[in-house]
Structure formats: C-alpha cells, structure tokens
Amino acid sequence: MEKLWVVDFGSQYSLLIVRRARELGVYAELLPWNKLPQQIPPQVRGIIFSGSYASVSDGPPLPVEWIGERPILAICYGAQWLARHFGGVVAESHAREYGPAQLELTGDSPLWRDVPPKSRAWMSHSDTITSLPAGARPLAQTTDIPYAAYTLPEKAIYAVQFHPEVTHTEAGATILRNFLYEVCGFTGGWQPEAEIDTIIADLRARMPEGYAIGALSGGIDSTVAALLVHRAIGERFQGIFVDTGLLRKGEAEAVLAAYETVGLPVRRVRAAQAFFSALQGVTDPEIKRKTIGRLFIEIFETEARLFSDVRYLVQGTIYPDVVESGAGVSATIKSHHNVGGLPERLALELIEPLRLFFKDEVRAVGRKLGLPESFLRRHPFPGPGLAVRILGEVTPERVARLQLADAIFIEELEKRGWYDRTWQAFAVLLPQKSVGVAGDQRRYGETIALRAVNSTDGMTAEPTPLPHELLFEVARRILAEVPEISRVVYDLSTKPPATIEWE
C-alpha cells in the first residue's frame, strides 16, 4: 500500500497533516524526527516535514541521508530547517507573523495549480528565511517575508512558511492535493473501510488460540475495536462493559441494545457505587481522571480473572490517543483512559486494531460493520464521562442533575434539527450558586453551562450559532424541570484559547 510519511518536529498541527492527507485519499503515518528509519521503504512515495515550536537556531536534528530520494513538502519549521541545511540563512524575524497573511505567488510550481495569485494563508513563526540556498527558487511572498515559499527543483523539495493543513489557509487543501498527486504521483483512493478485511486477517494470524477480552466503555472506539476482533475470532472474544454510572441519561441501555444488534457478546458490570465512593471529595480534574482510570482497571482486572485461557486484551486506542500520550515528539497533553498499565498487570498481549485510525475513520469502519446510525452519530464523549463535566465533587445527586439538563439540551437540538448540524453539544454543571425565584419562593441553586461547537477535527472549534429561541426554550425547560438549578448560561468561547471540554 502506497503511503506518505509525515515527519513530526513537534508541531501542534502535525497530526492534522496526517488527517488532511487521508481525507485526500492518501494513507499517511506520523514519524518522530528522531526515530526515522535509515532507508525509505518503496511504498513511501512522498514526505512532509511538519512545523515545530522550536527554532532551527536551537540546534536542528542531524541530517538524514535520504533527503532528495522522495519529493518533500516542508512546512514552516521544516522549510526553515531545509533552507539552513542546504546553505540558506534563517534569522529571527523582526515582524513575527502569527495569524492570517496575504500570500502572493511569485513563481511557477505544480503546487500552485488552481491556486489564486493572491489568497489568505495562516502563519505561525518567529524565525524567517532571509537568504535561500544555492539552486533554490522563490515561489511566494507576503507583505513581511520575501520567501513564503521556495523550491529546490533538483531535489524535488517544496517548502512553505505557512500552514496549508489548517482551514484558515484558503488554498491549503488544493496545495496539499497538488503535492500528493501532481508532485508525488499518488494514485489515491484510500478509504478506512477498505482496510477491514486486512485488519481481520491480521487479527486471526495474531490470535491463533486462546481467548480475548475487551474493555468496553460504551463509546465508538472500544465498540468498533471489539467488533473487529469478534469478527476475527468469533466466540473466543468476550466484552466487558463497566457501567460507571457516569454516562449520559439512558446511555448504558442504548449501548447494550446496540451491542445486541450486532451480536457482540458483552457482560455488564454495574459499578456506579464503587466509582462514586472513590470520587468522594475529589475536585481536581486530573485526579478525577486518574481515580476513574485506576478503579476501572481494578474492576476490569477482577472480572477478567473470571474467564479462563485469556491471552489478549482488546482496547479502542485510536491514533490521537497514541500521539497525545507521548508516543510522538510532543509532550503528553492529558492522561488517557486507553494507554495504561492494564495489559502488564494482567500479563496479556495488547490488541489495538484502531491505533492508526482517526475518529471519523473509526465511524466509517463501524458503519461498514453494521453498527446502528443512532449509535454512530452520537457526539464525542470523554472517557471519564460526566465526571469531567461536573466541576467540583461528583455525587449521585449532581450526576442525576446534569444527566437531566443534558438530556433536555440534546432533545431540543434533535427536535429542531440542530443536533446533526453541531459537532458536539453538552451541558456542564458548575459549582457556582446563585439566587433564583421559583413561584413565590427564593431558590439558591447551581448553574448549568451549555456548550455547543462546530469543528472539523476537534483541534479548533467555534461556538455553534444556535437560534435564540432554541436557547431560550432549553433554559426555560432546565429551570422548570431541574429544581436544583437556578441559572443557565451559554459558553461562547472558541478553541483556542479555550478547550472544548471544561475539564
């Protein structure tokens, strides 16, 4: 299978480059710059160098011998690193570019096919190329920098100081498509669903005997991973669904119904009381995550020992989990439910069928495997559940309060046709209390924050412009139907600087 390498120098956008390539029909993989192979496999037809938070003056990585063997598109830091590597000059910029800039094409290039002479490009750099290496040819400029893009034609190197992978760059997708198809000659057509038969065959070969158990959270990732393994080894798979009591209203029952629809064997473990006891007095969000993860492991470990000849543990780890948990260059962003010590404690071989897939790709695989659309179209939900949508202590009463408020919000979005027009929507329970009036009586209750965002990948997000009448009705119903709530607010924050989830 033909593939693209994306060399990660630590940019926040590195994973986004991989996504964009796959969306364009080319299978791409992320490789840390300090773990690159000495030779390029024949199936690799092109390479993209990412940006970085670092400066090339901090000491660039050692050069690799294969530069020039395949076409390279270098982005931001990558463009500066290659310029310096081949004898150009990179200096600290007097006018740091961050945000949109007017890109003006100054030279012909296959990258510019169907790209307008002037367009908006997204910049994020404090260094700039002041002198090109010998043999390089400038391709574009902005108001502040003369070499916004250049090429070293003899080495099939193309370099841009802006970020074509972000949606803020108007012609970004066109530029990436041109590199992949016009420069590298990819045939394209890659789709995640096409990998199902290969994955199942690989799983059969990897698990010739013995049983496998799967840690099911009720989410799409763990469910699709379990389905793939079940298709591969049949009744030698057993799923374990730990019901933490922290799911959305009615979700546990809906999840079990979906499992039954596709014939997935699952044992439900009712563990809500254990989780509430463990979370008593805990208010720090990271401690909440770790407490839930630790208890989940303990309960799952106990259940797993009820089965004999278990050799494999199936987890729904996906590509962003692997990268964000420190497998790549960037530091760990948050602790993850999936990447942990459970396999070592149980002395089981870890099976992660989806570790190279993104969320939208997992949905496509799940759809092909027959999961109900009602299951697949659910909005993203955090691994620790409602515990990280409740600011402050998590109690059964506060969970019930949030479940009801959240259900009202989602019900109104569905009723008015806004659920599928919103990437993610949910309610958050805040510990701040305020005075309200119920009938003729004073009420001192908690606050619900409504959050609805639109995004293509979760890396950036804008608040959904929900109609005022919808928000008014949601607020009216929550205040009327959840007596402990005295105020409802709507979160208008963008990501960045805010995150989508509150904790």
**Residues that are catalytic:** 76, 163, 165
Q: Distances from the Cα of 196 to the Cαs of 92, 285, 356, 366, in angstroms?
A: 48, 37, 13, 10
Q: Distances from the Cα of 452 to the Cαs of 449, 455, 467, in angstroms?
A: 10, 10, 12
User: Burial, 12: exposed, middle or buried (Cβ in 10 Å; 0-12, 13-18, 19+)?
Assistant: middle
Tokens describing residue 229: 């393994």
SS3 501: coil
Q: Would you give the distance in Å from CA 369 to the centre of its chain?
A: 22
Distance CA 254, CA 484 (A): 27
DSSP string, 29-52: EEEEGGG--SS--TTEEEEEE---
Helices 220-233 and 251-261 cross at an angle (nearest 10°) of 20
Helix (H) or strand (E) holding 481: helix 468-481
> Which residues, 6+ apart, have CB-to-CB distance to 308 below 8 Å?
211
List, in sequence order, every residue forming a beta bridge with 121; answer none if it has no partner: 101
> Would you say 51 and 13 are in contact if contact means Cβ atoms under 8 Å apart?
yes
